[in-house]
Amino acid sequence: MSVLSKPLKIALLQLSAGANKQANLSKVREYIAKAIKENSSLDLIMLPECFNSPYSVSEFPKYAENIPNGETTKFLSDIAKEYGILVIGGSYPERGQDDKIYNTSVSFNRQGEIIAKHRKAHLFDIDIPGGITFKESISLTGGDKATVFSLPDFGAIGLGICYDIRFPELAAIAARPPQNSFAMFYPGAFNTTTGPLHWHLLARARAVDNQVFVILCSPSRDITSGYHAYGHSLVVDPMGNIIAEAGEADEIVYAELDPELITKARAGIPVTIQRRFEIYDDVAKDAKISDI
């Protein structure tokens, strides 16, 4: 039997964010209203990484908020409650009780209650000659747990943020027993160097590795900003097929996650029951899972 109990209708909001937090939140509200109007049967809306602030290591501390009492968390909670919709709140800078800054994603049920909180575990510290140098660790601290949670009425899902997708362990933890997730959701802001190289490749790899849906939601590309996001928000099915994809501009991407696609993938190529844990360790065993 599929780990997804019934079809899940989702919308990915591919949007850019500027320096004005209020304007960014207003834009999100506008696009959520548009998505609901265009598809009134939506179950879930997902936002991109850093949707309320510029993607900049020097800016993160300026925009950081307390969770759950900050402005952006309340905004997302009110949206979920108003529209009666599940929300995966992309990510935004969080100031923890330890006064450290985290890149954090918060998810909500239809009543506006927090059902998951993921702090980006793997910080984007890279230096590609002739490409891009970027070091999140200048201002951010990495989270220390994997995040898997129950999506009401549908089943379990895993959550990562951007660079987390390059590390297959988080997806494996989510997909394997006892978690048995049907999808991995990654708000992410790959750039115009790393995006063409690995965006599609990594999404398809995580899907095929674990025979789950993989959903990536990117900011749109704003060439006037200091960081040029790749765009191309997409949905990949458990066989590695891309079933929905955005371009580079502001856009809403719609998709339906069909349980039968998981059933067929796992019946035809049964890797989920063919693993040899007597040869290698199971990374899902004794994993540290976030409890909000």
> Strand, coil or helix: what is 40?
coil
In 84-225, where does DSSP find H-type helix?
Answer: 168-175, 194, 200-210
Distance CA 217, CA 67 (A): 22
Distance CA 273, CA 269 (A): 10
Kind of pairing, strands 213-217 and 183-187? parallel
Of the candidates 120, 136, 217, 248, the residue annotated as catalytic is 120
Distance CA 34, CA 77 (A): 18
Of the candidates 65, 94, 162, 248, the residue annotated as catalytic is 162
Whether 120 is catalytic: yes
- Rounded to 5°, the CA angle 159-199-286 comes to 30
Whether 162 is catalytic: yes
> Strand, coil or helix: what is 229?
strand
Which residues neighbour 113 within 8 Å (Cβ) at sequence distance 6 or greater?
Answer: 77
Cis omega (within 30 of 0) for bond into 68 = yes
In the chain, where does DSSP find H-type helix?
Answer: 21-38, 60-63, 71-83, 168-175, 194, 200-210, 259-268
How far, in whole angstroms, is CA 61 from its chain's centroid? 21
Which residues neighbour 193 within 8 Å (Cβ) at sequence distance 6 or greater?
Answer: 128, 131, 132
Whether 38 is catalytic: no
What are the structure tokens assigned to 150, written together? Answer: 């129950």
Q: Are 45 and 31 in contact (CB under 8 A)?
A: no
Of the candidates 21, 27, 49, 50, the residue annotated as catalytic is 49
Active centre residues (catalytic): 49, 120, 162
